[in-house]
Each structure stands twice: as C-alpha cells, then as structure tokens.
Amino acid sequence: MEKAILIYRRRREFADGAIIEGVAWSLPQAVMGSSHLYKYRLFYGYPGQRVIGYDNERGKGDHKHYYDTETPYTFTTPEQVWRDFVTDILTERGKP
C-alpha cells in the first residue's frame, strides 16, 4: 500500500501575531473533488481567525478563502499554490 509523501511543511510567526503555515503531500490517489495527486492546506491569519487559506478539502476540491469568502482555485503544482498564497499574503500585509 502506497503512502502519502510529504512535499513541504512550513511555518512562520510574525511579530504582530500573524501565522503562516502550509503543508503539502503527494498522494497515491486523488482526493475526492480534485483531479490531481496532491493534498495541501495553507493558512495565514491569527489565532482563531483565518485571513487567507488555500486547500483541497475532501469533496470540495481546490479553493481559497479570504476571510469568510470561498472561491474556486485552479491548482497546477504544489510550488505554484505556495507562490500564489504568499503573493496574497504580501498584498494583504501591504507589500505588493
């Protein structure tokens, strides 16, 4: 039986209390709702408050969160979703 393989796990805490955290795995089969062989969960926010998030939750497929708004996301690679995520964070923090 094949197992998930960790691609990356990253975490950083900012001086203002914000947290950036991300994890991605390569899977032997796609998560229900996604057409690729990756599982990922990316979070930026504060304890108890998500500001930006990207994930492919089972059954929902690839999507991103901005506060309480959820929109579809077109996934290409684990590296690209991380770059898109960081770009959104830099914009949110006022550093485009």
Q: Does 58 score more than 90 pLDDT?
A: no
pTM score, two decimals? Answer: 0.91
Domain residue spans in the chain?
5-92
Around 48, how many Cα atoms within 13 Å sit in the side-chain half-sphere? 0
H/E stretch holding 91 reads helix 78-92
Per residue in 6-54, pLDDT tens? Answer: 999 999 999 999 999 999 999 999 999 999 999 999 999 999 999 999 9
Task: Answer left, alpha or beta for residue 33, where phi above 0 means left and psi between -120 and 50 means alpha.
Answer: left
Choose among 24, 28, 27, 20: nearest CA to 8.
24
Choose among 28, 24, 29: nearest CA to 75.
24
Q: Does 71 score more than 80 pLDDT?
A: yes
